[in-house]
């Protein structure tokens, strides 16, 4: 499972498999030079999650570590977020069930009523769109 970022200057970044490796959201080349035009994630079954036109974007992995659990921390979900005009659209992909949830929240209260870190610049002024496309 890899996500792809297309920056405004045409640079395209594809992450490593985010189920296994450091997702690299904080270290992608070009992140501070230009805004993000769109983010996409190829999904099983010939579908693609697409977010574009947002003022800013975030991505994060939800992990858990249980006392008494062998094998260390495990991934619970992946979150792809876009913010526009004070609201955040969150797409949550459950790692175990593959269930996909779409939610909306007020900017700054997007994760169970709390803020998240790691937001990156989009392209202000464009109309925000997100959805699952069939290829």
Please state, in angstroms and rounded to a whole number, the distance separating the CA atoms of residues 133 and 128: 15
Residue among 12 and 26 whose Cβ is closer to other proteins = 26
Residue among 13 and 60 whose Cβ is closer to other proteins = 60
CB atoms within 10 A of CB 8: 15
Please state, in angstroms and rounded to a whole number, the distance separating the CA atoms of residues 88 and 112: 12
Q: Please give the span between the terminal C-alpha atoms of the chain, in angstroms, as a whole number.
A: 16
- Torsions phi, psi for 93 (to 5 deg): -115, 115
Q: Which of residues 76-135 bind other proteins (CB under 8 A)?
A: 76, 79, 111-112, 114-118
Q: Which of 20, 44, 70, 134 binds other proteins (CB under 8 A)?
A: 70
Task: Compose the 43-62 pattern: x for residues touching other proteins by CB under 8 A, - for all others.
Answer: ---------------xxxxx
Q: For binding to other proteins (CB under 8 A), which residues are involved?
A: 22-23, 25-26, 58-73, 76, 79, 111-112, 114-118
């Amino acid at each position: 499972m890899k996500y792809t970022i297309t920056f405004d200057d045409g640079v395209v970044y594809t992450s490593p498999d985010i189920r296994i490796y450091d997702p690299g959201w904080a270290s992608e080349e070009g992140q501070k030079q230009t805004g993000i035009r769109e983010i996409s994630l190829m999904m099983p079954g010939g579908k693609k999650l697409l977010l574009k036109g947002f003022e800013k974007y975030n991505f994060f992995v939800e992990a858990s570590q249980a006392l008494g659990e062998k094998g260390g921390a495990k991934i619970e979900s992946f979150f792809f977020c876009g913010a526009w005009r004070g609201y955040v659209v969150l797409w949550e992909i459950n790692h175990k069930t593959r269930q996909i949830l779409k939610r909306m929240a007020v900017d700054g209260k997007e994760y169970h009523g709390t803020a998240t870190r790691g937001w990156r610049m989009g392209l202000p002024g464009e109309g925000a769109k997100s959805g699952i496309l069939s290829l």
